[in-house]
Structure 1
């Protein structure tokens, strides 16, 4: 596996992530206000008179906002949660118009409220589209999964993977990783046919001893997302490491086929790198021979001979 796992925390996220986080905070704030003072919120929006119905509807919408805000900030299924806000925006406009017509309206406040809703709806739609495009791009790529059991505690295995600058010790294609004070990282990796792949990545989920998830930034040569999970192995046999990778190969599907023929296909790399990681953790070094010092490669296997220690 190449530098796809060499991502680090970054000080800034892309525009869609920043907007999504802001919308999540807005949902929590608005939902709290609607639950705490439903009549006051209704009057502020332009509905002159309250009542049990207005209070109940406003409180219900407040609960909806809280759920949506929590969903967005959880970082799971963010695009779906933001799209649910778009649906809620349409519902808010319709409800506000009906409520104002039935119970009287303060024209100035109603106008400001509708203008604010229009602006928020535009932000919701733009954010949802950006997140959906990115998710769709990752989902449409190639998927690779591999797993291995390491006879070491989960905490030790997690630290081994989380130390970004040490990843090249067991990732044959990865060149030295550079990091800065903010936690972001830049890496280069050997690609198919002697090419070089460059790009940055960021960690989007990091739960100690459980999971590390990452994604590439938009300027990376190869767009990719993935995760490493650390599970308790059955029978007290240490830690099961499960790696999942999705990427968009250069040249599309044709490029993926060519890479596989050249022995540079991610499923092969995943298996090799997991085996190397296990060797480093259990015996302190990667066991290699002169025949395949950098792991399996079709070009090297074409000229086989008895294995010898690396010079």
Structure 2
């Protein structure tokens, strides 16, 4: 599944949230109008149920558009849809003529909304189970490299090249059929290891991968497009990353200057150096290259005090 598809779940959740806001507002502001349009204005109980349904819709509106965990709220919408369909079925059975037609029309609309809610809830659940959905961090980085698109694609496609410019990787072992085993830098007994599978591969344009097992949950996408004006290739990386230790681990890493967002940008800079010059350029001040932790320990230059003149 690609990164684009992951964002689809977020967009669907936001759209459902805004739809709930509009519907809930109308149900609370004009319950009689909603009852008449629904064909249930002849029932006191049905008229009283309209504003209650509006309150439920507003609760979803507050949770879904910016929610970090859309799955529970999407499933709660499905439960509410089932209750609404049950009530509408009973209402249709008790009415005739134009009221029955209105109830049936509303039933068809609610059934369509239910299908969208089910689809969104199922997608959100798959993301949660994969370990790269709601809990993960969404990282983005881009760079322009003065090399042909095909060359950059082929270099990245051989995942065993990745440790040459990804500072957090110790090694990558390819195992055929788009599968590989990744090992992070760290003490031998505690270094995270995980298996990766390529899920999409468009020659010269796009590579998408995801972790299938191990201690790190991740999903990544790298795209290659021709830069304007013949300036080479634009390389864009999108990562969903579930850091070891969850949010606490991510916060601690950020304090140490090793936040994954910074790592992604540093990795792309090193990638540019490797493919353009053949090596990662290091200076005397930073012999290990661009490392956020190293630079966090550096201090700004201070003016040198003038020596006191001997009287």
Bin for the TM-score computed over the shorter chain = 0.5 to 0.7
Indicate conservation of the 8 Å contact 1:227/1:244, yes or no: yes
What pairs with 1:159-238 in structure 2 (closer than 5 Å)? Answer: 159-190=154-185, 196-217=191-212, 219-238=213-232
1:249 maps to what in 2? 243
Q: Aligned to 2:244, what secondary structure does the other structure show?
A: coil
Indicate conservation of the 8 Å contact 2:178/2:198, yes or no: no
Determine the C-alpha separation between the residues in 1 that align with 2:300 and 2:164: 26
1:96 maps to what in 2? none
Indicate conservation of the 8 Å contact 1:291/1:304, yes or no: no
Q: Are the structure 2 counterparts of residues 183 and 214 from structure 1 closer, same or farther at C-alpha, using a change threshold of 3 Å? A: closer
Indicate conservation of the 8 Å contact 1:191/1:264, yes or no: no
State which of 254, 260, 278 in structure 1 corresponds to 2:254.
260
Indicate conservation of the 8 Å contact 1:223/1:247, yes or no: yes
Deviation at 1:298, TM superposition (A): 2.5
Q: Aligned to 1:176, what secondary structure does the other structure show?
A: strand
Indicate conservation of the 8 Å contact 2:143/2:234, yes or no: yes
Determine the C-alpha separation between the residues in 2 that align with 1:239 and 1:166: 19
What TM-score does the superposition give when structure 2 sets the normalisation length? 0.52
Indicate conservation of the 8 Å contact 2:183/2:191, yes or no: yes
2:291 maps to what in 1? 296
Larger RCO (CA under 8 A, 6+ residues apart): 1
Indicate conservation of the 8 Å contact 2:180/2:195, yes or no: yes
Deviation at 1:294, TM superposition (A): 4.5
Q: Are the structure 2 counterparts of residues 255 and 135 from structure 1 closer, same or farther at C-alpha, using a change threshold of 3 Å? A: same
Which protein has the larger Cα radius of gyration, Structure 1 or Structure 2?
2
Q: Aligned to 1:175, what secondary structure does the other structure show?
A: strand
Q: CA RMSD in A?
A: 3.3
1:133 maps to what in 2? 125
Indicate conservation of the 8 Å contact 2:124/2:133, yes or no: no
1:145 maps to what in 2? 140
Indicate conservation of the 8 Å contact 2:257/2:296, yes or no: no
Deviation at 1:177, TM superposition (A): 1.4
Determine the C-alpha separation between the residues in 1 that align with 2:164 and 2:246: 30
Q: Are the structure 2 counterparts of residues 191 and 235 from structure 1 closer, same or farther at C-alpha, using a change threshold of 3 Å? A: farther
Determine the C-alpha separation between the residues in 2 that align with 1:204 and 1:268: 26
2:274 maps to what in 1? 280
Aligned residues: 183
Indicate conservation of the 8 Å contact 1:147/1:274, yes or no: yes
Q: Are the structure 2 counterparts of residues 153 and 300 from structure 1 closer, same or farther at C-alpha, using a change threshold of 3 Å? A: closer
Deviation at 1:176, TM superposition (A): 2.2
Deviation at 1:152, TM superposition (A): 0.9
2:234 maps to what in 1? 240
Determine the C-alpha separation between the residues in 2 that align with 1:231 and 1:191: 34
Determine the C-alpha separation between the residues in 2 that align with 1:244 and 1:197: 21
Q: Are the structure 2 counterparts of residues 146 and 191 from structure 1 closer, same or farther at C-alpha, using a change threshold of 3 Å? A: farther
Indicate conservation of the 8 Å contact 1:291/1:305, yes or no: no
Q: Deviation per CA, 1:7-49, whole angstroms, max 9, x where unpaired?
A: xxxxxxxxxxxxxxxxxxxxxxxxxxxxxxxxxxxxxxxxxxx
Q: Are the structure 2 counterparts of residues 284 and 260 from structure 1 closer, same or farther at C-alpha, using a change threshold of 3 Å? A: same
Q: Are the structure 2 counterparts of residues 132 and 225 from structure 1 closer, same or farther at C-alpha, using a change threshold of 3 Å? A: same
Q: Aligned to 2:192, what secondary structure does the other structure show?
A: strand
